[in-house]
């Protein structure tokens, strides 16, 4: 069976390889094959960072162009020479957290030749003797360190690319502050080059200085008894969240996340977000998931930001304001949760209208007013209604009895395609 060619993202008629993306290691030209060397020597233009251009300088006969800033302008500069033999120098594997991914959004793969070198992750695994398929790889280069938090699981092995020489110390501090100070932190610097250095120690006694800007951290995770480990199941303990009581309780949250059915890469609107717990757990379900928390109270909005950081999902977007006005202009969601303010005029209709065809809407109600809204929605649109009753054991005098929580009415609906 033959596969049809994929569409050209550049919408250009050029379909011959004119761009060669060359992965370069710290060993410079010594690590390149003959094909890569010929491409560099024959290129009319060679793009790269200052370090890469210096490493390849003996072979460059054409124009050497250092990446301009911002990087969007850099990609456009490459597109502008379309059709002319061109080389882009990249670090290691250009399609593993690399420039190749960015270029492919504007230039068809049919117009490229890609000659990768071993990635820093591959080199690190080789130095440590770690099976790369069993390791979690995370890029923290130009991104918040907090992204590491969900991956801090006892016994896990992590490889994290940092931004600069200060990154390992900051990572050690984060590990220590969250109860992972006994984790073995290995700093691998300038892998593959003459300045390579590999240093291991406990995170809570990190004292390495003069760290090379090009470094990667390996973490063999060890959790203290009080470590902040984020379980992988829905319905995280309420105590992990900062909240003022306005939080979807853990048992109800687990049922709600099950009803929302998170799928990779989808966008959730959490209307009346409170502590942000639903949006946070939605994002924890998959690293590609996105969420927008809509919250009108400034103090709660600040609390949502802190919770997002503490749970390692700093990409949670906050839309401050009252629905439905605050919903205007937001990107269309794949799923919506209404946990607060759903009985306000216009909120429900605006949510239904904004939801993508085939999207899921889940709304919880504990008041009679919200329950009336859900009953009306069920009569008008269909879907399903369930009632959730939770009771918790608590002291009754010298004995123990059941203390019921407020029952929750939940409406679930899938918008017709």
Read off the pLDDT of residues 372-387 as tens digits, 9 standing for 90 and up: 999 999 999 999 999 9
- pLDDT at 2 (0 to 100): 44
313: which DSSP letter? Answer: -
Are 28 and 126 part of one and the same domain? no
Is pLDDT at 4 greater than 60 in this prediction? Answer: no
Q: Tell me whether residue 199 is in a domain.
A: yes
Q: What is the mean pLDDT of residues 361-368?
A: 94
Residue 7 pLDDT > 80, yes or no?
Answer: no
Phi, psi at residue 187, to the nearest 5°?
-100, 120
Q: How far apart are the first and last CA of the chain?
A: 32
Domain closes at, from 192, 220, 248: 220
Name the 3-class secondary structure at 408: strand
> Would you say residue 233 lies in a domain?
no
**pLDDT for 47:** 96
Among 220, 246, 281, give the residue marking a domain's end.
220
What sections of 23-166 are H helices per DSSP? 34-42, 50-56, 71-79, 99-104, 120-128
On whether residue 2 sits in a domain, the answer given is no
With 70 as the cut, is the pLDDT of residue 234 above it?
yes
For residue 46, being part of any structural domain is answered with yes
Q: 3-state SS of the chain: helix, strand, coil percent to 5?
A: 30, 25, 45
pLDDT of residue 354: 97
| Residues of the chain above pLDDT 90, percent | 88
What pLDDT sits at residue 211? 97
pLDDT for 245: 87
Q: 216 lies in which domain range?
A: 121-220
Does 225 map to a domain? Answer: no
């Amino acid at each position: 069976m033959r596969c049809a060619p994929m569409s050209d993202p550049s919408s250009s008629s050029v379909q011959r390889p004119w761009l060669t993306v060359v992965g370069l290691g710290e060993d410079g030209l010594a690590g390149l094959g003959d094909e890569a060397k010929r491409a560099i020597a024959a290129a009319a233009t060679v793009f790269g960072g200052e370090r890469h251009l210096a490493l390849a300088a003996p072979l460059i006969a054409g124009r050497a162009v250092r990446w301009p800033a911002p990087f969007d302008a850099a990609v456009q500069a490459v597109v502008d020479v379309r059709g002319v033999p061109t080389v882009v120098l990249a670090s290691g594997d250009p399609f593993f957290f690399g420039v190749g991914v960015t270029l492919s959004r504007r230039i068809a793969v049919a117009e490229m030749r890609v000659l990768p070198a071993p990635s820093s992750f591959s080199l690190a695994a080789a130095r440590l003797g770690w099976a790369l398929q069993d390791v979690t790889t995370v890029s923290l280069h130009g991104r918040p360190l907090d992204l590491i938090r969900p991956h801090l699981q006892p016994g896990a092995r992590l490889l994290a690319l940092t931004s600069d020489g200060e990154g390992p110390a900051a990572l050690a501090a984060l590990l220590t502050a969250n109860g992972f100070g006994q984790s073995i932190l290995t700093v691998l610097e300038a892998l593959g080059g003459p300045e390579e250095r590999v240093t291991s120690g406990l995170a809570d006694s990190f004292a390495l200085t003069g760290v090379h800007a090009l470094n990667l951290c390996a973490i063999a995770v060890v959790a203290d008894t009080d470590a902040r480990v984020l379980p992988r199941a829905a319905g995280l303990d309420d105590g992990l969240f900062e909240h003022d009581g306005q939080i979807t309780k853990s048992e109800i949250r687990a049922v709600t996340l099950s009803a929302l059915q998170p799928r990779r890469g989808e966008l959730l609107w959490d209307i009346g977000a409170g502590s942000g717990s639903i949006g946070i757990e939605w994002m924890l379900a998959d690293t590609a998931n996105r969420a927008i928390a809509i919250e009108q109270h400034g103090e709660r909005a600040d609390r949502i930001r802190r919770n997002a950081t503490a749970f390692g999902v700093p990409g949670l977007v906050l839309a401050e304001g009252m629905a439905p006005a605050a919903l205007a202009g937001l990107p269309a969601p794949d799923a919506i949760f209404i946990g607060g303010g759903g009985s306000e005029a216009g909120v429900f209709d605006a949510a239904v209208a904004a939801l993508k065809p085939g999207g899921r809407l889940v709304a919880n109600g504990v008041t009679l007013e919200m329950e009336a809204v859900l009953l009306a929605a069920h009569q008008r649109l269909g879907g399903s209604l369930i009632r959730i009753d939770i009771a918790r054991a608590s002291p009754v005098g010298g004995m123990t009895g059941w203390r019921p929580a407020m029952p929750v009415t939940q409406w679930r609906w899938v918008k017709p395609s």
